[in-house]
């Protein structure tokens, strides 16, 4: 993937890559995800791990860290270490809530990181000794309110004290590493803060806005792959009757409903990507809607297409069951639809200045 230049295609021109915007990434991600979700998620997980550097890093940090990811050689990995065992839906919770439980204590000119993370794509690397670059969400001030107490700290490989605990046995994405691991006294330079000290929640939100729209595109890739299988099956199978089953109205309507859902989801996601690229006022809302709508639509459409195909869809000789297992993750990761994404959308709706038409606008800033 890297030798073919796909990682460079995800890094912006301004940082030395070949990406002109999030729509470019979305088109590429759909093509790849429709073929192999696990490999694609490894690629996009590395892009997410680099986003804090791209968005909040200094020129020195970008110049130092990005060159290995811009080469079309090797297999560098990056990860965004946000989620913790026990969940992170309440990362911004004030006391007595725990919020972010991983801590970073300044000792002289070094940050000492203690804590545990999980569900972070490829974070422990190919050899369990850590990815090349980890962006780690930490509590850096135990006494400040959450909006000033949480930071993103850069951990570079090799990092003594990064301890692999287990590879999560996920339902889908079976060829993608999702580790649970710990930071046991990991020491990094004081200058490894990404963005501003205490500004970690804002930087995380900025990184995950674009990522939300891409989860919707992942849904499109899975639905598209399933639709092609179901369409071919319906055109060629008679199931003991005279005509191919596509001539039956129930089958035809089922396929038509699936195709409409795919197109609606794709264009909502592209609209969200364009809004993110233009920094439009409604970008966050559209990205959340693309993620929630796309991920939940994929689970429904894949289930419906399995009904069209019938019992053969329950056999791994066809890919529909595997595609459904991959789709089940989409409402849950990248900010769960219940614990994170709908809550954020709800909070936006509650703001007195909320404009229902903001998502329709395209204002370049």
Query: Among 177, 198, 219, which residue terminates a domain?
Result: 198
Domains: count for the chain: 2
Say yes or no to pLDDT of 364 above 90: no
The average confidence (pLDDT) of the chain is 95
DSSP 246-292: GGSHHHHHHHHHHHHHHHHHHHHHHHHHHHHHHT-TTHHHHHHHHHH
pLDDT in tens, 174-185: 999 999 999 999
Q: How confident is the model over 251-273, as a mean pLDDT?
A: 97
**CATH code, domain with 223:** 1.20.140.10
The CA distance from 192 to 155, in Å, is 8
In this prediction, residue 335 carries a pLDDT of: 92
DSSP 71: S
**Last residue in a domain, options 198, 227, 247:** 198
Q: Rounded to whole angstroms, how far apart are CA atoms 185 and 112?
A: 5
Is 293 a residue whose pLDDT tops 70?
yes
Q: What is the pLDDT of residues 58-68, one digit of tens each?
A: 999 999 999 99
pLDDT in tens, 144-160: 998 899 999 999 998 89
Domain, as residue range, for 235: 202-360
> Closest Cα to residue 163, out of 177, 178, 180, 182?
182
* 13 occurs within a structural domain: yes
What average pLDDT does the segment 226-255 reach?
96
The answer, yes or no, to whether residue 361 has pLDDT greater than 90, is no
Q: What pTM value is reported for the model?
A: 0.94
């Amino acid at each position: 993937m890297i030798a073919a230049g796909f990682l460079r295609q995800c890094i912006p021109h301004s940082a030395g890559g070949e990406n002109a915007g999030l729509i470019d990434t979305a088109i590429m991600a759909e093509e790849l995800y429709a073929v192999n979700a696990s490999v694609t998620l490894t690629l996009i997980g590395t892009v997410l791990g680099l986003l804090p550097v791209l968005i909040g890093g200094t020129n020195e940090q970008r110049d130092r860290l990005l060159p290995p990811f811009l080469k079309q050689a090797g297999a560098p990995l990056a990860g965004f270490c946000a989620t913790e065992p026990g969940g992170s839906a309440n990362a911004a919770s004030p006391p007595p809530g725990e919020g972010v439980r991983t801590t970073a204590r300044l000792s002289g000119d070094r940050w000492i990181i203690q804590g545990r993370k999980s569900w972070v794509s490829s974070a422990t690397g190919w050899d369990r000794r850590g990815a090349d670059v980890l962006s780690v969400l930490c509590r850096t001030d135990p006494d400040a309110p959450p909006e000033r107490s949480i930071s993103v700290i850069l951990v570079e490989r090799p990092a003594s004290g990064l301890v692999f605990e287990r590879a999560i046995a996920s339902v889908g994405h079976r060829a993608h590493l999702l580790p649970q691991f710990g930071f046991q006294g990991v020491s990094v330079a004081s200058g490894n803060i990404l963005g501003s000290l205490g500004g970690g929640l804002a930087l995380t939100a900025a990184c995950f806005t674009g990522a939300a729209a891409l989860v919707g595109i992942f849904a499109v890739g899975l639905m598209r792959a399933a639709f092609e299988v179901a369409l071919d099956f319906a055109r060629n199978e008679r199931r003991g009757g005279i005509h191919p089953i596509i001539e039956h109205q129930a089958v035809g309507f089922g396929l038509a409903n699936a195709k409409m859902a795919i197109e609606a989801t794709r264009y909502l996601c592209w609209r969200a990507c364009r809004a993110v690229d233009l920094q439009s006022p409604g970008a966050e809302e559209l990205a959340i809607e693309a993620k929630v709508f796309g991920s939940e639509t994929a689970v429904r459409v894949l289930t419906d297409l399995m009904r069209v195909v019938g019992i053969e869809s329950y056999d791994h000789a066809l890919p529909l069951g595997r595609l459904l297992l991959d789709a089940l993750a989409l409402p849950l990761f990248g900010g769960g639809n219940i614990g994170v994404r709908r809550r954020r959308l709800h909070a936006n709706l509650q703001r007195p200045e909320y404009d229902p038409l903001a998502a329709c606008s395209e204002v370049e800033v």
